[in-house]
A and B are shown apart, each in its own frame.
Chain A
Amino acid sequence: MTRRRTQRSTDGAPTLIDCDIHQRWKDESEVIQYLPDQYKDRGLQAPEILYDNVAEFSRRDAIPDDGSNPGSDIPKMKDQHLDEFGVDYAILTGNSYLNLTALPNDDYAAELAVASNKWAIDRWLSEGGPFVGSLLAAPQKPKRMAEMIRNLGQHPRVVQVVMPMAAQLPYGHEYYWPMYEAAEEMGLPIALHPYTEGHGVTRPPTGAGYPRTYFEWHTLLGTYAMGQLVSLVAEGVLPSFPDLDFVVVEGGLSWVPHFLWRMDKDWKALRAQVPYLEKPPSEYVKDQVRFTTQPIEEPDDPQHLLQILEMMNASETVMFASDYPHWDTDSPLYAIPPMPEEMEAGVMAGNAQELYGLPDDPASLPAK
């Protein structure tokens, strides 16, 4: 095991790919201009988060000099994070308006998603450099989103689709399948990202219902991911779309071995309910689902986390993420436990490079 190095690779393979960076607009008008005329007056409305975060939602040290939103200033992001740590690729996952996907007006929600994606392409992906990005999808409107995925997904720096972790129905439901068909066709993985749980038209934020605190909501992010994943497995999404990959972002990961073992055990007895599965459920997950590291668990003994990473075959299934510029950013240098060399190479860059099909040299990827 070696001390982690983060340095930009210019002539070899990437050494650090950050799979969860939140870019933001300085002013809403940047995005509103992309909305259809009938929604321009309405602007960008989304349900506010229900819970108070005493640690503040964005990092104070990430506020640009002009006082604008953290994540809205490209030079600041490069100076403070991308160049500081030697990030070869920044996978942009959108900003906190993920909650637009919790709106009851499905048409407005879908057009908000389209507008914010057009903004992201024009404002950020056209920058080139380390930036590649995601198309936010509002799952209320699957056919419109499928059309959007086929259209905007042609941009060479669009590398995935992001759906909110919580929606009206579990994601295995056939209602959502038009989006999966489009994403598979375009070769784009689908990432699930938390924030919407309990908001708008989604389900309660925890299996126990509505807790009182951000502490409870944040601690249980992984459980919501479990609910979506078991649905994707049981309803046959993974076997039906064998070339489609999913990414669980910001759910932590130490629950994954438990989840896989539990599914495999139940499958032996209850297989008749899920005849879509032609092999143990854990194998679909290991083949088609990736997990990002942040917020990484921090046991007193880092070896315990390393054991869990081994149990979930992290060398091929786990990808580093920082969540910059949010309050629980993980440092590429200090957050991740010491790992064997091969696992570290996969987690810090290799798995993301393979999943997203990224060339060694970011400059060789067209920006338009």
Chain B
Amino acid sequence: MKKRFEVCPAAELPPGERTITDLNGISVGVFNVDGEYYALKNDCPHQRAPLCMGKVTGTTSVEHTGAINWEDNGHILRCPWHGWEFDIETGRSVFNPNKVRARSFETTVEPADEEPTESEADCSSIPDECDCGSSADEPPVATYDVTVEDEMVVVYL
């Protein structure tokens, strides 16, 4: 069963901002992209760099040679090492979305819980490793819910 973690009041994480927090021993980056909240493991599947410290940016597409478009501005996270691009909403890489993915978590905005978050939550189901997907048939990533209730950003993992 997924554990609920209150990250911060939603007002403290406005659009375009991020926070990196430790949730029961797992470093997680929580992002506000145009009012929606997303959470990614702070761990690049390539060489395990702190992915969530990278630049939030956009990416390019091309209509025809010499005509490059800028798109998805604010929706792309670029790893601070090696510059790999990931979709913040899904954790999927831009260059190989089905095989190379960062781990993403469910995020919501919910009211603050009267009970404090359990500190002993068992997150052992999240392996402390990364898989760049080079040998896996299935994407190596499970997704997690993240919400915001009564203006608390909440991550489930």
Contacts and interface: CB of A to CB of B under 8 A. Distances in A.
Interface of A: 53-56, 59-62, 300, 327-331, 333-335
A137 B134 CA distance: 42
Contacts of A56: 55, 78, 80, 83
B49 A331 contact: yes
Contacts of B50: 61
A328 to B, nearest CB: 6
A53 B83 CA distance: 9
A59 B53 CA distance: 9
Closest 7 CB pairs of A and B: A55-B83, A60-B80, A61-B53, A331-B47, A334-B47, A61-B80, A59-B80
A59 B134 contact: no
Nearest to B81: A329
B48 interface: yes
Contacts of A61: 49-50, 53-54, 80-81
Contacts of B49: 59, 61, 329, 331
B50 to A, nearest CB: 5
A323 to B, nearest CB: 10
A53 B54 CA distance: 14
Interface in B39-55: 46-50, 53-55
12 contacts: A53-B83, A55-B83, A56-B83, A60-B54, A60-B55, A327-B83, A329-B49, A329-B82, A331-B81, A333-B48, A334-B46, A334-B47
A56 B82 CA distance: 9
B81 A54 contact: no
Interface string B25-65: 00000000000000000000011111001110000000000
Given A55-B83, A61-B50, A330-B47, 18 more contacts: A54-B78, A55-B82, A56-B80, A60-B53, A60-B80, A61-B53, A61-B80, A61-B81, A62-B80, A327-B80, A327-B82, A328-B81, A331-B47, A331-B49, A331-B81, A334-B46, A334-B47, A335-B47
Contact of A59 (B46, B48, B81): B81
Interface residues of B, number: 14
Contacts, number: 45
Contact of A328 (B53, B55, B78, B82): B82
Contact of A54 (B48, B53, B80, B83): B83
B82 A300 contact: no
A327 B81 CA distance: 5
B133 to A, nearest CB: 11
Interface string B71-115: 000000010111100000000000000000000000000000000
Given A60-B55, A300-B134, A334 B48 contact: yes
A195 B97 CA distance: 32
Contacts of A328: 81-82
Interface of B: 46-50, 53-55, 78, 80-83, 134
A328 B49 CA distance: 11
Contacts of B80: 56, 59-62, 327
A333 B53 CA distance: 20
A330 B50 CA distance: 13
A86 to B, nearest CB: 16
A113 B153 CA distance: 52
Contacts of B48: 331, 333-334
A335 B82 CA distance: 12
Contacts of A300: 134
A348 B76 CA distance: 35
A108 B148 CA distance: 60
A2 to B, nearest CB: 17
A300 B80 CA distance: 23
Nearest to B59: A54
A62 B79 CA distance: 12
A341 B134 CA distance: 24
A55 B49 CA distance: 14
Contacts of A53: 83
Nearest to A58: B80
Nearest to B135: A300
Q: Which of A55, A300, A335 has the most CB of B within 10 A?
A: A55
Contacts of B82: 55, 327-329
Q: Which of B46, B47, B53 has the most CB of A within 10 A?
A: B47
A330 B47 CA distance: 8
Nearest to A300: B134
Contacts of A333: 47-48
A62 B81 CA distance: 10
Nearest to B60: A54
